[in-house]
Structure 1
Amino acid sequence: MTTQTTDSTASALELPAPDDTMTWLGDRSRGSLERAREMVRSLKADPPCDALAVLRAWNDVEIEISNARASAAVYSETNPEKDVREAADVTMQQVDEFATDLGLDGELFEIFDALSSEGLDPTATRLLERQLRDFRRSGVDRDEATRARLRELAQLELRASQEFGRNMREGVRSIRVRPEDLAGMPADWLTSHEPDDDGLITVTTDYPDSVPVGTFCSVPATRRAISFERLNIAWPANDAVLQRLLTLRAEHAGLLGYKDWADFNAETKMIRTGSAINEFIDKIVAASTDAAQRDKQIVLDRLRQDDPDAQDIYGYDLPYYSELVRKERYDVDAQLVRTFFRFDAVLQGLLAVTGRLFGLTWEPVPAAPVWAPDVAAYDVLRDGTRIGRIYLDLHPREGKYKHAAQFTLVEGVRGRQLPEGVLVCNFSRGLMEHSEVTTFFHEFGHLIHHIVGGTQDWVEFTGVSTEWDFVEAPSQMLEEWAWDPTVLAEFAVDADGAVIPEALVRRMRTADDFGKGYLARTQMFYAALSVGIHQHRPEDLTTAVREAQQRYSVFPYIEDTHFQCAFGHLDGYSSGYYTYMWSLVIAKDMFSAFHAEDLFEPHVAARYRDRVLAPGGSKDAADLVADFLGRPYTFDAYAAWLAE
């Protein structure tokens, strides 16, 4: 086992060789937890009278807990070996149990409650206030029986969450079809999907298979079949798991005096209350309905050219016919577009664009130990000084996390350890859809936030530690660079070396704006489902999906499907899926500060980096945005974009 360093110019974490992983995970967890336990014992035995000294001692404890939890979380979601993933789950349970005990420790609470903020700087004062709030949200001031039950609930919730995620990771489905049932598919996709000995081709529900089939396959039965499988991943197992998780969360919130989990979960976010989530959803629905109905009718009319009897358009036909509308109405052929986006070129282009924008250098570390052969490591430099490390795990494999996300490997703490982050995606190794390119930019934005914001004195405020309904805003804003013709010209070239035409990029953007109204309504369906099942706890979750879709989406429910079982955000985001749209409102306003003709304008880019990203969570998100814009954020930019 290797240990952390305290040299701020050295890597805070060295990963083991694959054969040593199990031992490494156990040793790292036990070592970090034992150090944390000893620190807590010392703090309780002889607590300093000085508030700053107590906060520093507590910071040491939280660093150890964070290191143990973060590495286990990455291995749980990404390691190729099932026994390692399971061991990582156990490690996370141990870490979470210890953290729960600390939150319910009355002696610790008394130490913090007796402290005065006099003499503390604003950030340390914020930390003290945050810690006292978190103690109370843990239930430390409740009676012994309640504390015992809250301790038990925390473990049960974590195990249910792990089971929910595991069922999705391991629940990949597939269909087997004849080659002629894949008419319309791109040549490079077909080349990578050879028929088996029975003459059939296997199409899985993993993104690089199912998304292109849904978009390009001209055979309706094939589109329906793969869509049906995608909407039934982890059914029926996760239906029972989700019901259990909702019950646990409701009891948890009730024991702490909250009306429901949505109110408990919203308290620490910008939105503050569960009822405000419903109000926000209604606001977006009102703003998007006209555009949603207008664009849906256009797609439905195009479907009726092929199927005159069609009364409505379902999710299994929407991507295909939306693509046809964009091709025929806006002269944008996604199969042509994808020829300009080779994965390797996109990766190098993304590194170049973000490096220029944020003043960073990405330096490959080919000798870095990694958990799978296709994981790449880069040291991150600013002004020649290394400020962190990133790991890119970008292609599908069995047992791996199935969506796209940034995971923390090490939280950065000034003078103690550099931030390290992991980007986990499931991209094709060949040509990419432009939607995948924007996803790549989006998720990389989280990684940048983690690294650039990872220079705080307090681990509580490092990296992406703002309110959870703000964390998507910087990433959503970075997507704008994936639409700029000048930016794309730097890396979007076809096999003959021809640069993507500026006129095509502008048509792509116009075409992409088509459907934004009905996409907003779909997002509000997801948001309403996530908050609604936590507020009302329906007996039948599939019925709840159907009813929420009928009310908020403009597209009908597909019978005998169970979307809730593979909607991973019902775990991590719980009642807070609204955060994506809330963040988009802020992202549109922040982007208005950049000059349309020069997205790399140094003064604006540096101000954004230093006032929004670099402070991490040391200020409220609304204050960070106001510092950058010179005013409070508004709904205006989003509303104007939606109305275009």
Structure 2
Amino acid sequence: MSLCVLPDFAGVELDKVPAQLDSLLDEARAEIAKLETADLEQLLGRLEALDDRIDKFWSVISHLNGVMNSPELREVYAECQPKLTAYGNEVGQNRALYDQAEALASSDIKLSPEQRTGLEHLLRDFRLAGVALEGEAKERFKAIRLRLSELSTTFQNQVLDATQGWFKHVTDAAELAGVPESALEGYADAAKAKELDGYVISLDVPAYLPVMQYAENRELRRELYEAYGTRASDQGPKAGEWDNSAVMVEILQLRAELAQILGYANYAEVSLAPKMAESPQRVMDFLRELAEKSLPRARAEFDELKAFAANKGCSDLQAWDVPFYSEHLRTERYAISQEELKPYFPAETVQEGLFKVTGQLFGITYERDESADLWHEDARCYHLLRDGEPVATVYTDLFARANKRGGAWMANFCGRREVNGENQLPVAFVTCNFTPPTSKRPSLLTHSDVTTLFHEFGHALHHMLTQVNVLAVSGINGVAWDAVELPSQLLENWCWQPEVIPMISAHYETGQPLPEDMLQKLLAAKNFQSGLQMVRQLEFALFDMQLHARPAPQTADEIQTLLDSVRSEVAVYPVPAFNRFQHGFSHIFAGGYAAGYYSYKWAELLSADVFSRFAEEGVMSRELGQEFVDKLLSRGGSADPMQLFRDFRGRDPQLEPLLRDAGILEDAA
């Protein structure tokens, strides 16, 4: 038997949300008080039910805050977030509840392996929440957690405001020479929406990138680069207007103080406590080993790009020139461009193909729910079925729009758990910011967009195909942060398979799949500038880990100095002094990646190694797909991720598949 509970977006009355949350948390507190002396056999189940109720309530508000942001919603979110943080502090520092959990752990009460893992995670989280603290230290810890929650929201809001708060109005089409027609249509629609003539270019990535890659107007490229690279900072056209400088410094200082209170040397150690990595130094050694093997190729790629640009008349290649000349070099070398590919990747076709691929691999089908309650006309709801029986639900929201947070992400409404003999089915959200349809054509994706959709859907499948019935470790819950990217990065590989691309491509006008000659060019260009891409990610990861492994900065200038130092170590081309990338680095200042950005590279190593088995035995093998589900994907956080990897791969992970997949192996030999 299964229980499908879906979010109620239409029922949200913003003015009532704070009072509803108060009532929910008061009920939870009363239940917690009962649990402090309850029968130990009931402890985990009753805690799980509380977590489930609160998660379901808040996930709706949190989701709307990301996809339908408004002044009213932002105010409600800001009012409620501290209440949730305070409640989390109370539970995390409840010594009586912790003692109950410890008593259960040492009792002879029979627990399933999943329950035992969930209990181990619970005890670990109690300790990381400061359950052993007393007096002034306990109160200070709670105050820090509360303030960090507020600062995280402030950081993200200021990035959103800075992104929305700038646009370029162009009335002369000649200024946009080289920009593809599809992008111009979007700019024209944006201008009409603002009741302006001509074109409007925003800092949303689908609007920003076409200028950077195709606009012949170098000054325009520089103008957009500066506006984008200085968002929410003390530099650029909106200098100081939504400046995250002080916010970053305070976040880092409070994280360092929190670590000290808990008895850790730095916040990086706190962050790694529930992860696979052993220590900050081990992480940095891993990143530097990758850098050592990748830098020769990256330097050669940049030297080649400089020579190419010089041959085209640009002898002083700058950061705002790199995307432009890179795209032209790619086109000249492989006779293929992202723009040429876009007509073959309409968003709807790609999504249908994604459903076919994952359906065949994992034995599932998708059924659209036309009657589902949705937050916007762009959103869709699909039920996942296996042998005709529902197993999960996923909502998609794929297009960029005003008041929607940038980027792409997966989140969840609820996870799988057992409720009175029934299995509550998982529900996931997949959100992207692709170029929206225009008045003349549907949404057309770059191949990079296609891999983004597969990536986020990999996260969703990890959550939805779980067979674990303990909420704390079902789906993505309880998965070590540096393993959580494995399924998402793994699924990207199918976007490059010759037998798969016809399943996910069809020209939006003719319906024809990607022609064979274009397919071969796309595959040939797969590792174009892979060295540059690798060291760029290593730059972010090393910066993040060092930032949290050393004493907290006193000023934003110190953060900039550290980033400059990391760039001198692993970057191959300079960025202008005004660049303030860190001020918009939401992953580490407003997301869950603080001292965890390295996870992308570690999980990429794992996923490349996992995929190498598919490459050996069949990329569309139903049997191997099911084995992957059974041994890894469905297990959630219920077991050690390294053991799950070994169960599927039959050995420890190796670096070679990652380097080979990126085309770097021959350079590293």
**TM over 0.5, shorter chain:** yes
CA contact (8 A) 1:529 1:548 kept: yes
State the match for 2:115 in structure 1: 124
Equivalent residue letter for 2:258: H
Confirm whether residue 632 of structure 1 aligns to residue 652 of structure 2.
yes
Where does structure 2 lack aligned partners over 5 or more consecutive residues?
Answer: 235-242, 437-442
State the match for 1:208 in structure 2: 206
Equivalent residue letter for 1:111: Q
State the match for 1:165 in structure 2: 156
Deviation at 1:121, TM superposition (A): 3.1
Cα-to-partner distance string for 1:217-239 (whole Å, 9 max, x where unaligned): 22221221111111111124212
CA contact (8 A) 1:483 1:505 kept: no
SS of structure 1 residue aligned to 2:319? coil
Equivalent residue letter for 2:338: A
SS of structure 2 residue aligned to 1:370? coil
Counterpart-to-counterpart distance in 1, 2:25 and 2:255: 26
Deviation at 1:577, TM superposition (A): 0.8
Counterpart-to-counterpart distance in 1, 2:570 and 2:155: 25
Counterpart-to-counterpart distance in 2, 1:383 and 1:273: 45
CA contact (8 A) 2:7 2:56 kept: no
State the match for 1:542 in structure 2: 560
- 1:198 and 1:25, CA in 2 relative to 1: closer, same or farther beyond 3 A? closer
CA contact (8 A) 1:472 1:583 kept: yes
Confirm whether residue 8 of structure 1 aligns to residue 15 of structure 2.
no
State the match for 2:608 in structure 1: 588
State the match for 2:530 in structure 1: 516
Counterpart-to-counterpart distance in 2, 1:58 and 1:634: 39
- 1:339 and 1:596, CA in 2 relative to 1: closer, same or farther beyond 3 A? farther
State the match for 1:4 in structure 2: none
Q: TM-score, normalised by structure 2?
A: 0.90
Q: Match for 1:439 among 441, 444, 452?
A: 452
Aligned residues: 630
CA contact (8 A) 1:72 1:91 kept: no
Cα-to-partner distance string for 1:234-261 (whole Å, 9 max, x where unaligned): 1242121111111111110111011111
Counterpart-to-counterpart distance in 2, 1:216 and 1:422: 33
- 1:450 and 1:28, CA in 2 relative to 1: closer, same or farther beyond 3 A? farther
Q: Match for 2:427 among 415, 420, 428?
A: 420
State the match for 1:460 in structure 2: 472
Counterpart-to-counterpart distance in 1, 2:29 and 2:469: 21
Confirm whether residue 40 of structure 1 aligns to residue 32 of structure 2.
yes
Deviation at 1:476, TM superposition (A): 0.8
State the match for 1:643 in structure 2: 665
Identity of aligned residues (%): 27
Equivalent residue letter for 2:499: T
Confirm whether residue 558 of structure 1 aligns to residue 576 of structure 2.
yes
Counterpart-to-counterpart distance in 1, 2:601 and 2:476: 18
CA contact (8 A) 1:291 1:643 kept: no
CA contact (8 A) 1:186 1:216 kept: yes
Deviation at 1:167, TM superposition (A): 1.1
Counterpart-to-counterpart distance in 1, 2:568 and 2:245: 20
Confirm whether residue 604 of structure 1 aligns to residue 638 of structure 2.
no
Counterpart-to-counterpart distance in 2, 1:452 and 1:89: 33
Equivalent residue letter for 1:190: L
Counterpart-to-counterpart distance in 2, 1:563 and 1:323: 22
SS of structure 1 residue aligned to 2:156? helix
Counterpart-to-counterpart distance in 2, 1:24 and 1:618: 37
- 1:65 and 1:191, CA in 2 relative to 1: closer, same or farther beyond 3 A? closer
CA contact (8 A) 1:76 1:89 kept: no
SS of structure 2 residue aligned to 1:407? strand
CA contact (8 A) 1:493 1:499 kept: yes
Equivalent residue letter for 1:137: L
SS of structure 1 residue aligned to 2:372? coil
State the match for 2:14 in structure 1: 22
CA contact (8 A) 1:9 1:386 kept: no
Confirm whether residue 362 of structure 1 aligns to residue 366 of structure 2.
yes
Equivalent residue letter for 1:128: L
CA contact (8 A) 1:16 1:24 kept: no
CA contact (8 A) 1:595 1:601 kept: no
Q: TM-score, normalised by structure 1?
A: 0.93
Equivalent residue letter for 1:417: Q
Counterpart-to-counterpart distance in 1, 2:197 and 2:568: 40
Tell me which moved more, 147-156 or 134-143. 134-143
Equivalent residue letter for 1:643: L
Counterpart-to-counterpart distance in 2, 1:104 and 1:520: 41
Deviation at 1:80, TM superposition (A): 4.3
Q: Match for 1:567 among 573, 581, 585?
A: 585
Counterpart-to-counterpart distance in 1, 2:504 and 2:609: 27
Counterpart-to-counterpart distance in 1, 2:523 and 2:74: 41
CA contact (8 A) 1:69 1:92 kept: no
Counterpart-to-counterpart distance in 1, 2:268 and 2:7: 39
